[in-house]
């Protein structure tokens, strides 16, 4: 919390003025629903309680009647608040979000329900997302209404209005009310002492009162819990689409590798052997040379298969698990790499593979771009999360730009609900952490 620094009256003045301004703004933003409730309640009670005025019925009957009248008033208040809420909640909540962003640097992103694009059906009717309409105009109007009034976010904003009306409003309204009340006491009533006391109290409270906004805003001004689900579903759909794409690309790569590499070489070997078979009696020397060639081809085919296998599922990873596989990577790296591990046993296989390839990619990046002389890899399994941190003493400035290796890693670990954290100031050092929640196997 920012507290005015002592000994600087100018600074105090600024803080007080700012606080007063913010209190007034918050008051205006939250006062509507309580005011409506107050008016309806007051007016309603004047009307409703007049129904039994002067009645001489027994006490029990009169008590029952006034209970009924109170209920009627409550219903009126609810109806009034509901109507005002439908018409104003969105605008007021958006305005509150703007001041929250400006004053507290709190980003509260929300999305309202979009207007359904109406479509003409083969029957000639128009579909507005809920029902069929005869005319396009009517369908569009209905779609707009639907989007506007049947939006879970709107009702969540309404809840903010109610909650803020009983929490933010009383606190934020206090300083301006005290100052105004003090002024009134001095000017109109000629009571300088209580007036000055009220003004001083109001000014003193001003820098703090508006801060009631943060706790309430954090809880009620964000996205409705319902649409959090929706967002999660969309996120998962995107991940799934990504995964299927990646899988197809991977299979294509493997197929091409086999087709153009090992397969072609084995065909060549078969042909060479056939020729050798035919020549072995007539020209044994040439046959021998051809067979030697064929053997060289088989060695090349094996080498290709080996590198292909390494890209699919590295043998060390299959045989030893993540930690030893990363150690093997470290040994093959062109820079000095130290590996520290706090992983008690093997983790789930898919996570193992994802983290392995992430670390491999990070090491390649270090070798290619960082000009580092020392790299440290830490593998830690703690609170159900596997983290791999790669730290280098290189040039820094790493960022997950679109299409870069880092964004590729990010995409892959996201499929496991994992995260990629990069701190890489220009001049280094660079820390890159891959964290993936998983279970030990």
Which C-beta is closer to other proteins: that of 18 or that of 309? 309
Where does this chain touch other proteins (CB under 8 A) — which range of 77-85, 246-254, 298-306, 422-430? 298-306
Per-residue interface string for the shown chain with other proteins, residues 373-412, x marking contact by CB under 8 A: ----------------------------------------
Which C-beta is closer to other proteins: that of 219 or that of 295? 295
- In whole angstroms, the minimum distance from the beta carbon of 424 to other proteins comes to 23
* 297-304 LR contacts (CB < 8 Å, sep 24+): 297/265, 297/268, 297/269, 297/272, 298/265, 298/266, 298/269, 300/265, 301/261, 301/262, 301/265, 301/266, 301/269, 304/257, 304/261, 304/262, 304/265
Angle subtended by helix axes 32-50 and 9-30, to nearest 10 = 50
- In whole angstroms, the minimum distance from the beta carbon of 316 to other proteins comes to 5
CA dist 296 → 153, 261, 284, 305 (Å): 69, 14, 19, 14
Rule CB under 8 A: is residue 316 a binding residue for other proteins? yes
Interface with other proteins (CB under 8 A), residue from 310, 368, 371, 382: 310
Burial category of 162 from C-beta neighbours within 10 Å (exposed 0-12, middle 13-18, buried 19 and up): middle
Which C-beta is closer to other proteins: that of 204 or that of 335? 335
Rule CB under 8 A: is residue 313 a binding residue for other proteins? no
Which C-beta is closer to other proteins: that of 318 or that of 440? 318
Please compute, for residue 12, the number of CA atoms within 13 A of its CA located in the half-sphere on the CB side: 8
- The Cα 172–Cα 164 span in angstroms is 10
DSSP state of 334: S
Residue with tokens 């205006």: 28
Rule CB under 8 A: is residue 270 a binding residue for other proteins? no
Interface with other proteins (CB under 8 A), residue from 319, 382, 404, 421: 319
- In whole angstroms, the minimum distance from the beta carbon of 306 to other proteins comes to 6
Where does this chain touch other proteins (CB under 8 A) — which range of 89-97, 245-253, 262-270, 310-318? 310-318
Interface with other proteins (CB under 8 A), residue from 306, 368, 371, 382: 306
CA dist 337 → 242, 316, 361, 389, 425 (Å): 32, 18, 14, 12, 21
* 266-269 LR contacts (CB < 8 Å, sep 24+): 266/298, 266/301, 268/294, 268/297, 269/294, 269/297, 269/298, 269/301
Rule CB under 8 A: is residue 440 a binding residue for other proteins? no
Q: Is the dihedral of CA 304, 307, 313, 315 positive or negative?
A: positive
Where does this chain touch other proteins (CB under 8 A) — which range of 101-109, 117-125, 277-285, 302-310? 302-310
Residue with tokens 């060289």: 296
- In whole angstroms, the minimum distance from the beta carbon of 389 to other proteins comes to 15
Where does this chain touch other proteins (CB under 8 A) — which range of 21-29, 60-68, 311-319, 416-424? 311-319
Asked if 38 and 228 count as a contact pair (C-beta separation under 8 A), the reply is no
Interface with other proteins (CB under 8 A), residue from 17, 196, 303, 439: 303
- In whole angstroms, the minimum distance from the beta carbon of 1 to other proteins comes to 46
Tell me the backbone φ, ψ of residue 411, rounded to 5 degrees.
-60, -45
Where does this chain touch other proteins (CB under 8 A) — which range of 14-22, 210-218, 234-242, 291-299? 291-299
- In whole angstroms, the minimum distance from the beta carbon of 160 to other proteins comes to 54
Looking only at residues 175 through 194 of this chain, which bind other proteins when binding is defined by CB under 8 A?
none
DSSP state of 347: B
Where does this chain touch other proteins (CB under 8 A) — which range of 30-38, 147-155, 190-198, 295-303? 295-303
- The Cα 162–Cα 153 span in angstroms is 14
Asked if 431 and 397 count as a contact pair (C-beta separation under 8 A), the reply is no
Residue with tokens 């479509």: 119
Secondary element (H or E) of residue 381: strand 374-382
Residue 11: CB atoms within 10 A of its CB come to: 12
CA dist 389 → 109, 229, 267, 411, 422 (Å): 31, 31, 45, 17, 10
Where does this chain touch other proteins (CB under 8 A) — which range of 191-199, 215-223, 269-277, 308-316? 308-316
Interface with other proteins (CB under 8 A), residue from 117, 311, 315, 397: 315
Looking only at residues 41 through 80 of this chain, which bind other proteins when binding is defined by CB under 8 A?
none
- In whole angstroms, the minimum distance from the beta carbon of 388 to other proteins comes to 15
Q: How many residues bind other proteins (CB under 8 A)?
A: 26
Looking only at residues 323 through 342 of this chain, which bind other proteins when binding is defined by CB under 8 A?
324, 327-328, 330-332, 334-340
Which C-beta is closer to other proteins: that of 61 or that of 302? 302
Asked if 317 and 357 count as a contact pair (C-beta separation under 8 A), the reply is no
Site residues (CB under 8 A) for other proteins? 295, 298-299, 302-303, 306, 309-310, 315-316, 318-320, 324, 327-328, 330-332, 334-340
């Amino acid at each position: 919390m920012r507290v005015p620094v002592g000994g600087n009256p100018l600074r105090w003045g600024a803080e007080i003025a700012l606080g007063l301004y913010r209190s007034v703004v918050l008051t205006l933003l939250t006062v509507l629903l309580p005011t409506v409730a107050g008016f309806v309640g007051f007016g309603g009670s004047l009307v409703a309680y007049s129904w039994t005025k002067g009645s001489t019925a027994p006490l029990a009957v009169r008590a029952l009647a006034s209970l009924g009248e109170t209920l009627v008033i409550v219903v009126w208040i609810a109806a009034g608040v509901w109507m005002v809420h439908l018409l104003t909640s969105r605008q007021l909540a958006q305005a509150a979000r703007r001041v929250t962003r400006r004053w507290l640097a709190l980003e509260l992103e929300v999305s309202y329900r979009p207007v359904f694009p109406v479509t003409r059906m083969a029957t000639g009717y128009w579909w507005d997302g809920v029902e069929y309409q005869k005319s396009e105009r009517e369908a569009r109007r209905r779609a707009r209404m639907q989007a506007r009034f049947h939006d879970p976010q709107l009702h969540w904003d309404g809840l903010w209005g109610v909650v803020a009306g009983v929490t933010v409003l009383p606190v934020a309204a206090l300083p301006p009310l005290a100052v105004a009340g003090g002024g009134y006491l001095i000017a109109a009533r000629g009571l300088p002492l209580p007036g000055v006391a009220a003004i001083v109290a109001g000014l003193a409270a001003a820098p703090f009162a508006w801060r009631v906004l943060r706790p309430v805003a954090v809880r009620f001004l964000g996205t409705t819990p319902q649409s959090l689900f929706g967002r999660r579903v969309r996120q998962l759909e995107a991940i799934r689409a990504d995964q299927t794409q990646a899988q197809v690309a991977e299979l294509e790569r493997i197929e091409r590798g086999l087709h153009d590499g090992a397969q072609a070489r084995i065909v060549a070997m078969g042909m060479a052997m056939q020729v050798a078979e035919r020549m072995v009696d007539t020209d044994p020397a040439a046959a021998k040379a051809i067979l030697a060639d064929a053997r060289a081809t088989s060695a090349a085919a094996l080498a290709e298969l080996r590198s292909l296998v390494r890209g699919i599922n590295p043998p060390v990873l299959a045989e030893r698990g993540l930690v030893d596989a990363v150690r093997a990577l470290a040994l093959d790296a062109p820079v000095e790499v130290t590996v520290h591990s706090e992983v008690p046993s093997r983790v789930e296989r898919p996570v193992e593979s994802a983290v392995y390839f992430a670390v491999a990619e990070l090491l390649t990046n270090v070798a290619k771009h960082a000009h580092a002389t020392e790299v440290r890899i830490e593998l830690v399994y703690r609170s159900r999360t596997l983290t791999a941190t790669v730290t280098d003493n290189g040039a820094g400035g790493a960022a997950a730009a679109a299409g870069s290796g880092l964004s590729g890693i990010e995409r892959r670990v996201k499929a496991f609900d994992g995260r990629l954290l990069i701190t890489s100031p220009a001049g280094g050092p660079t820390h890159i952490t891959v964290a993936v929640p998983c279970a030990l196997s």
